[in-house]
Amino acid sequence: MAPRQILNSRAWNRAKRGYQSGVNIVLGITGSIAAYKAADLASQLVKGGHSVHAVMTRAATEFITPLTLQVLTRNPVLVTLEDEKQSWKPGHIELADNAGLFLVAPASADVIGNFANGLAPDPLSSIYLALPRSTPVVIAPAMNGKMWLHPAVQRNVARLAEDGVRFIGPAEGDLACGYQGIGRMAQVEEILAGLGI
pLDDT in tens, 126-173: 999 999 999 999 999 999 988 899 999 999 999 999 999 999 999 777
> Which pLDDT score is estimated for 85?
62
What are the structural domains of the chain?
24-195 (3.40.50.1950)
**164 near 5, Cβ under 8 Å?**
yes
* pLDDT exceeds cutoff 70 at 174: no
Mean pLDDT of 2-6: 41
Q: Phi and psi of 27, rounded to 5°? A: -105, 110
* pLDDT exceeds cutoff 80 at 79: yes
Residue positions annotated with a catalytic role:
177
Any residues with CB less than 8 A from the CB of 85 and at least 6 apart, and which? none
What's the rounded Cα separation, in Å, for the pair 109 and 156? 9
User: What one-character DSSP code corresponds to residue 8?
Assistant: -
- Sheet with 101-107, edge to edge strand ranges: 51-56, 24-29, 101-107, 137-141, 166-167
Between 82 and 56, the higher pLDDT residue: 56
